[in-house]
Every structure is written in structure tokens, then in C-alpha cells.
Structure 1
Amino acid sequence: MSPVPAELQAIGWRAAVDPRWQAAMDAHPAAVPARVVEQHRSGYVVATGPGDGVAVESLPEWQRPAGYRKGAVAPEERPAVGDWVLVEGGRRIVALLPRRGAIKRGAAGEHYRQQLIAANVDAVFVVCGLDGDFNPRRIERYLLLVQGSGAQPVVVLTKADRPDADADAARAALADMAAQEVPVLVVNAKDAAAVAALAPWLRPGDTAVLVGSSGAGKSTLTNTLLGSERMKTAAVREHDARGRHTTTHRALIPLPSGACLIDTPGMRELKPTGEEELADGGFADIEALAAQCRFRDCAHGREPGCAVRAAIGRGDLDEGRFLNYLKLRDEVAAASDRLASRLADKQGVKVLTRALHKRLDDKYGKH
């Protein structure tokens, strides 16, 4: 392959090309690689460098509703911001290059669907304000969703400049995360010197994504990292520290450092996909304690010999964190059942389709 243009490297292209990409490139020799930098309901915007992106046509099967059976592609198999695609004629996507990881959640609604937040990222900044937005249980939920992506989670506590901000208490509440090698940073998002603490995860070629509630300070962080007021910001409500959606769509932004940052709208609902592992999502210590219980099917209630309850009694395990673990465990199990059902239905459709084709071939002969 020819040397990678500097423009592509500036938006995250790696020096070593994923070997899985070569087959797609060989199949579309007239296409050029581009990165998805914006995702809208109407389609995608891609870029081949750090300048302005261009709106492109996507494959027809990506435009069909998720419930549309014939030729439809599941939402998680369609491009997301951060994905690399091949574009022909400067206007038409012809292939999605295999991704090396993705951040996703269970979509809202009764039917099981996955929603991609960002693809091909190296770090996830879980942003939470040191005001009414601070919620260790929600941060744990974010970390659970991040764990399967291969990206490094980093908890970023903003609004350290507030007179009522208690950084020491917040760090203490998140001590279990720090003990599991999840960095916890406290910053004033408006101060470039403070935000410089994020530099180890924003090296040239790196891609990071910001996730958190509306009003947590994601757009302010982005502006400070850019050194300009590019992203719109708004004040939060005093009574509940909630903000409006100043970011209305996901967007990838090249930074002066040579890294890329993906800003996302605030997320109110964080449903598991059913693919998560609690041990890898920040609860390895609780899983290890549960393995020490006298009874294998211990419900961690009043059973004798419960190692989990003993740890809570000694003060070694926070009961609120344990209750959140139980809640997430049940949600992951329920989502896993729905995922298995969807996969079984999909396999059943394939079996029925093959059987129909066989009957037609038997009756009319193969064409």
C-alpha cells in the first residue's frame, strides 16, 4: 500500500493498516478511505483530512428501518462516528471497514436494539460535574458499557472551580474505581492548564470520546482543548444541575495535539446490551467476594457464610455500590436473554429462507 497521507493521519489513521481492510480496498480500487465525522438522521458526513467534511450517500440497506426485514442491516452494523469507510466519486460510501472496537448501549424501546455511540476509540472520558450531576452509580453504569470496547475509561470530574465542589469527597466515593486502575481526574473545564491532565490520552493519532449527562461540561472541555469557542454551551438548572442538549449530534473533531475528540449529546438512559461482563466492568471485587460465599447459589441476603454481606458489615464494601451491582446484573441478564432471542429469530429466518430456496430449486430447478 502507498504511504498514508498526512491528512488521514491527522484524523486518526494508523500507520499500520488493519490487515482486514485490505480485502475491502482491493474490491474497490477506485475508492478512497474516509472517516465518519458526523452522523445525522438523514445520513453521514465524512472527511479525508482535518478540514470540513462532505455529506455522502450511504448504502441502501443502511437507510432501511431496523424492523424492515428484507436486506436490512442491524443498527450496530451500520457506520457510526469514528468509523472508517471507503468512498467512491467523493460522494458515495461503498464499504464499511472493520472496526477495532465500539462503544454502544441498548436503545430505548420495547424491541431489542443496540445503538452505537462511537467507533475506533482509544479512550472514553466519562464526564461528570462536581454539582448535582455527580452520581457514582451512573458512572459505574458508564464503565460497564465501556468495558467491552477495548478503550481506556477515564473519569473526568468537572466544575472543580465551583465553591461547593468537594473533590476529596468525590475521589473517596470513587476509590473503588481508582483501585481498579480507572483514572479519576478533577478539572476546571474552562482552564487549559487543568485540562492538560487529559494529554496522556490525546496523543497524535489517538481518538477519545466524551460521554456524560447534558450540562456535565463536555462541550466546555472540547472548547478548551480546541482553544476556541467552537461548541455551543449553556447554563444548567440550579435546582437539579441538569443542562439542555447543546450538542445535538455526534461529531469527530481534530485537536491541535494531533488527536481526535468525539463529542456526544447527553445520554439520559444507559441500558446494557447484554454483552457486558460485570467482572470486567468495575465489579471484579464483588464477583470475587461472591465466589467465596458458602453456598454457590447465595443470593447475598441472610444466607449463612455470605462473604459479600460480611464485607459490607466490615465496611470493606459500600452497600450502595453492591445494590447497584445487583441491579446491573439483572439488567445485563435480561438484555442477554433478549439478545439471544433476537439471534435465534435471525437464525430462524435464515433457515426458513434456505428451506424456501431448496423447495423452489427442487420444483423449478436451479437457475
Structure 2
Amino acid sequence: MTEDLAGLRAIGWPYPGPVTDPQWAALLAAHPLARPARVTEQHRSGYVVAEGVEAGVAVESPPDWQRPPGYRKGMVPAEQRAAVGDWVLVEAGKIVALLPRHSAIKRGAAGEHYKQQLIAANIDTVFVVCGLDADFNPRRIERYLLLVQGSGAGAVVVLTKADQAAAGNPDAIAEALAALAGTAAQGAAVVALNARDRDDLGALAPWLQPGRSIVLVGSSGAGKSTLTNTLLGVERMKTGAVRDSDARGRHTTTHRALIPLPSGACLIDTPGMRELKPTGEEDVAENFSDIEALAEQCRFRDCKHEREPGCAVRAALEAGTLDGERYANFLKLRDEVAGAAGKLANRMAQKSDEKVQGKALHKRLDEKYGRH
């Protein structure tokens, strides 16, 4: 595989020399005829993978990944199948193994039953893209950052349409940065720019170094495709106008795709997401450590932050040092994560019971028919 390293490294291969991860090494050894490749597109009918910056090739997925006409027990869950950004082993036009991920961006899938949807894998940085128009929503940005937290990737808030905002209100950018002060204090970088201006995009250079992988997330009309086109230097991604009422646009990006950039980094553009449900694996306290720090100063350990004397959280709200909307969003996200965590626990317990029952059934059948 040595002669292929240059091509693989151009699309994010993490090893300059021999593979050091024991799980990766074991899978490579178990499939000596297979070639490593990265998933660049995911479709219902299969995957497109690449071994370098050249165009990818279509490959078949393993039988237990394929979506049957009806529900079929034993099928590999969606979050355990390959997604854009994953590294796989391919042999004779088929994926034969999925290499372990170092990061995964997930959300709770829409619907009544608990499921996870994998957005992208093996990502170094998530660009949370939000327009400085009617699309600007600090609370939604906090929700995106909650999903990124714990994924293994870093986060950068990219505020687009800075030129338009400043033209209408010279203080617009300063006001937006002030509204995100709590978010920035948690360690997420915030960058305001004009997504059509290549010079402005120089502010993103630290996260676009060779071998790095970035995914863009944000609502439709936020400027993700415009940002992608400017980074590429060509109009590759379709862009569209936004509605005047709420600055939302149509889904100009219809599927996730990994695109090599001239800088040597790889970028994944994603369709706009209208629903951002937590998976139940998030740590809300980590994203709102400022509020948690205040809670530790309350007189009572079990303070509900309502009418208790000596409540540091209420005092900060009354003094204006803690944003009331940020605190309300903290409570909302905390309850959502707790609810999702309960569904996740129930699902895991159900799977465990099914496994135990399956083993018991096989044992009875073995005893009945004398199988050993």
C-alpha cells in the first residue's frame, strides 16, 4: 500500500507511514487483497469511494447494510454502516470492511422510534454556518454545538453574509458576536465573513490545512454551498435565493459529498437540516459550563434556581450577566437530552433482552435436536 499513500493522504488518510491503530492494522491484515478508500458519496443504492482526489467509483455495500423492502431483523443499524467520510476496505467492487472512526457527527433521527442518523465521519472540524440575516439564531447555533460536542471533532461558528449585514447596520457584526459571547466562552471560535470573498475566507485557513477534513452544517440558505464554491474557486455547488420572510432557502444540496479542496483539505457539504434532535449521548453541562459554574456557587446543592435563597443563577439572571434566553435554551436542551437518553437506555435494554432470549432459544433447539 506504500505507493498509494500520497493519493490517500490527499483525501485525509491519517497515517504518514505504517498504520499504528491496532484495529485498523488487524482489518488490513485480514483483507490482504482489499484496498483502502474513503466514502465520498452515500446513496440509497450504494456508495461512491475514492483512493485520491480523482473521481470516485461506485461500489456495493455488504448485504447486511442494504435496506430491504420491509423491516428485517438483524440488519446492521444505520449508525454502524458507512457514511460520507468513512474509511472502508474495498475488494472486487464491494465494501468488505468498515475501518473504525476517530470522530462521528450524529443526530437523533426524525420519527417516534429511537434511531441515530450519522451526518459525517472522521471529521476534524465542523463549520456551523449561519447567515447574518433573518437566519441568525444563537439558540440554534447552541443546539448545533451540542451535537458536535463529544463527537471527537472541533467546532467553528461561521457567520456568513457579513457584508450584507454591515451594509444595513454597521453594528450588526458586533451585535452578533456579543450575542454569541457565551458560546465563544465555551471554546468555539466564531468567524464573520463574506462567503463570496476569497480574501475573507483566509480567516478559515487554520482549519483548512492539508489532510484535514471539514463538514459544513447549517440551515438551508445559510450559505454553505456559496462557501464551498468560493473555497473551490469554481461554481460547482448549486446555490439559490432565500425567502425574504425568514432568509431560508430551498435544499440546493441534496446529498452529502466529500470534496477535495485546493488547500489540500477535504470538505463535506450537507443538505440543510430543519430538525436537530439530540441522541442522548451529549453532555449539556460541557456546552453550558458557565451556567454549571454558577450553579456550583448556589447556597444549596439541590437548588432548583427558582425561589431558593442564595441562588447564584437567579442572581446572574437578575444582574444581566447571564443571558435569559441562553439559560432557557439550556433548560430545554437538558430536558431533551434526558428524554433521548431514556429512549437510548430502553433501546439498549431491549436489544440485550433479545440477545439473551435468542441464546436461550438456540440452546433449547440444540438440546432438543442433540446439536453440540
TM-score normalised by L of structure 1: 0.96
Match of 1:164 among 165, 168, 186: 168
Q: 1:131 aligns with which of 123, 130, 133?
A: 133
Is residue 28 of structure 1 aligned with residue 31 of structure 2? yes
Confirm or deny that 1:209 pairs with 2:211: no
Structure 1: how far apart are the matches of 2:133 and 2:174? 13
Structure 1, residues 310-365: CA drift from partner, whole Å, max 9, x if none? 11111110010000000000000000000000000000110001111111122222
The whole-number CA distance in structure 2 between the counterparts of 1:152 and 1:65 is: 36
2:86 to 83, 86, 109: 83
What are the superposed Cα offsets for residues 8-40 of structure 1, whole Å, 9 maximum, x if unpaired?
111110225333211111111111001000111
8 Å Cα contact 1:232-1:246 kept in structure 2: yes
Distance 1:4 1:292, change over 3 A: farther
- The answer to whether the 8 A contact 1:66-1:72 is kept is no
Q: How far has the Cα of 1:66 moved from its partner? A: 11
> What is the alpha-carbon distance in structure 2 between the residues aligned to residue 35 and residue 342 of structure 1?
31
Asked if residue 258 in structure 1 is aligned to residue 260 in structure 2, the reply is: no
CA contact (8 A) 1:103 1:117 kept: yes
CA distance in 2, matches of 1:106, 1:42: 23
RMSD, aligned α-carbons = 1.5
CA deviations over 1:121-144 (Å, ceiling 9, x no partner): 000000000000000000000000
Equivalent position SS for 1:38: strand
SS at match of 1:204: coil
Determine which of 210, 218, 228 is the counterpart of 1:222. 228
* Map of 2:196 onto structure 1: 190
Is the 1:298–1:306 Cα contact (8 Å) retained in structure 2? yes
Equivalent AA in structure 2 for residue 164 of structure 1 = G
| Aligned residue identity for 1:83 | D
**Does the CA-based 8 Å contact 1:300-1:309 persist in structure 2?**
yes
| SS of equivalent residue, structure 1 residue 20 | helix
Q: Which runs of 5+ in 2 are unaligned?
A: none
Paired with 1:14 and 1:360, the residues of 2 have a C-alpha distance of: 47
Amino acid at match of 2:366: D
CA distance in 2, matches of 1:141, 1:188: 24
2:186/2:288 contact within 8 Å kept: no
Q: Cα gap change, 1:307/1:278 in structure 2, threshold over 3 Å: closer, same or farther?
A: same
Q: Runs (4+) of structure 1 moved beyond 6 Å? A: none
User: 334-343 or 9-18: which moved more?
Assistant: 9-18
SS of alignment partner, residue 168 of structure 2: coil
Distance 1:69 1:356 in 2: 19
Q: 1:66 to 1:221 in 2, by over 3 A?
A: farther
2:43 matched residue in structure 1: 40
| DSSP 3-state at the match of 1:161 | helix
The answer to whether the 8 Å contact 2:134/2:246 transfers is yes
* 1:349–1:66 CA distance, 2 compared to 1 (3 A): farther
Counterpart-to-counterpart distance in 1, 2:41 and 2:132: 30
Report which stretch shifted further, 73-82 or 7-16. 7-16
Q: TM-score, normalised by structure 2?
A: 0.95
**Quick one: which amino acid aligns to residue 346 of structure 2?**
S
Correspondences of 1:278-293 after superposition (within 5 Å): 278-280=284-286, 282-293=287-298
